[in-house]
Amino acid sequence: QIVKPSGILASNTSSLPIGDFAGSSGRADKVVGLHFFNPVQLMKLVEVVKTDATDPQIFDLCKRWTLSVGKTPVSCKDTPGFIVNRLLVPNLVQALQLLERGDASMEDIDISMQLGAGHPMGPITLADYIGLDTILFILEGWVKKFPNEPSFVVPTILKQMVKDGKLGRKAGQGFYKWNGDKRA
């Protein structure tokens, strides 16, 4: 009602289905996902997400627009987590399960992925950085929608940390202690 009928509706969500927005928009053909990564000024990737109803010309226009603002677009369908989070979140779950079982310390898990896999930060640090409540919200939504998907599980340790208010960087305490954006 606020946007002209010809306007494109884009969501920056990282986990909610774009089709849910499209279905209630009254203009499903003009709804896309434009998932920018944080910090936006440093991260070059944008996932451009289409639903079955997205007009191909609108989709192509959005991809060209991301190029015009200096980003690299990747095309993806409206699937849980799109591309990056679909790969990333189960990786975070595996790291938390290693920690939960006592198979490795959080420091060893982090340094292993940094030095062994070339990641800029380890998965436990990344979980704290994203926000443990955010990861829990994403996982619970995926589990609800896809209860039989084996990679969508909620580690007990994650639920307990959120219950205890240890939400990560934004709370000053998660798996690690934080002082602003830096681990303490």
* 111-135 pLDDT per residue, tens: 999 999 999 899 999 999 999 999 9
Could you tell me the pTM of the whole model?
0.85
Annotated domain spans of the chain: 9-77, 84-183
The ranges of the chain with pLDDT < 50 are none
Domain 84-183 sits in CATH 3.60.15.10: no
Distance between CA atoms of 108 and 82, rounded to whole angstroms? 29
pLDDT at 101: 97
Closest alpha carbon to 78 in 55, 54, 50, 59 = 50
Domains 9-77 and 84-183 in one fold: no
pLDDT at 39: 77
pLDDT at 111: 98
pLDDT at 156: 97
Domain 9-77 sits in CATH 3.40.50.300: no
User: Which secondary structure element, helix H or strand E, spans residue 75, and what is its range?
Assistant: strand 72-77
pLDDT at 139: 94
The catalytic residues are 35
pLDDT at 1: 64
> DSSP string spanning 140-176?
HHHHHH-TT-TT----HHHHHHHHTT--BGGGTBSSS
